[in-house]
Amino acid sequence: MQSIDRASTEPYYLQLANIIEERIKSGALKSGERIPGESELCRSFELARSTVRDTFRVLEQKRLIRIVPRRGAFVSDQSDNRWKLQVTEGFLETAAHAPDVAITTSVLEWQQGPLPDPAARALGLAPGTVGFSLERLRFLGGLPAVYSTNWMPLAIGRTLIGKPVLKGTQSLNATLRAAGYRICHARREVAAVLPPAAAARYLQLSKNVPALQIKSMSRDISGVPFDYYESYVRSDVVTISVDAQAVGDAEAGRTNI
């Protein structure tokens, strides 16, 4: 079994996620099989429990595992190609279940400049405030699937400069987490709309063909908003899956979908 490279700049939780992902893709861990639990992974790789939990979040985000409360983590059905709209994970960072389906990201533009009014309002900033924007196009199996723009406060956006995420080769959500911005509260809104001309063009949609619009607001543990995005999704290319789970009174109202 591979080990953690303590000299690497890659976070330990991502290294462990890559190790487990490789075992799933190689068939060493099969669909429905329970993967080692937190305690066992902590012992085997000499990692903190919080690090292993971050690993599980990454694998769940990639649709490689499913977590069953009080039972553990299990390898997901790799024939499922849906994308999941999650509360505390970035929608664009999720991957299809099927590991043999190519998912690529093209960064169309990133810039520093005045935020559009809807983004400024969502982020709790004054109209015209200078912020950071990231415009991307996501492909699934070579087909354009998701066109999205993220807006952030300038200081947060600047942490992305020089990082692989601006070349489309790294997860935005993981990059923000590494910079200390973790999603703790989020709201997603979904509607079928006629997309703007630019979105329709990038998604190769004919005139008057609707797309799914997703508006998302992410907040950190203190409730401060740090990322707002609008995405347009081709529903003929990808299906959005929304999972609902009952929570206790102490948690109800902490997040909204």
Lowest mean pLDDT among 56-60, 104-108, 111-115: 56-60
Q: Which residues contact 140 (CB under 8 A, 6 or more apart)?
A: 96, 101, 102, 103, 237, 238
Q: How much of the chain is helix, strand and coil, in % rounded to 5? A: 25, 30, 45
Q: What is the pTM of this model?
A: 0.64
pLDDT band at 84 (very low <50, low <70, confident <90, very high): low
**Cα–Cα distance between 15 and 8 in angstroms, integer?**
9
127-131, 236-240, 250-254: lowest mean pLDDT where?
A: 250-254
Give buried/exposed letters for 218-245 (b at 16+ CB in 10 A, else e): bbbeeeebbbbbbbbbbeebbebeeeee
Residue 25 has pLDDT above 70, yes or no: yes
Q: Average pLDDT in the 108-122 region?
A: 97
Average pLDDT over residues 73-77: 87
pLDDT range class, residue 92, cuts 50, 70, 90: very low
Q: What does pLDDT average to over the chain?
A: 85
- In order of start, what are the domains of the chain with their CATH numbers? 12-75 (1.10.10.10), 83-241 (3.40.1410.10)
Classify each residue of 81-105 as buried b or exposed e, where b means 16 or more C-beta atoms within 10 Å of its C-beta: bebbbbbebbbbbbbbbbeeeebeb
Q: Confidence class of residue 208 from pLDDT cuts 50, 70 and 90?
A: confident
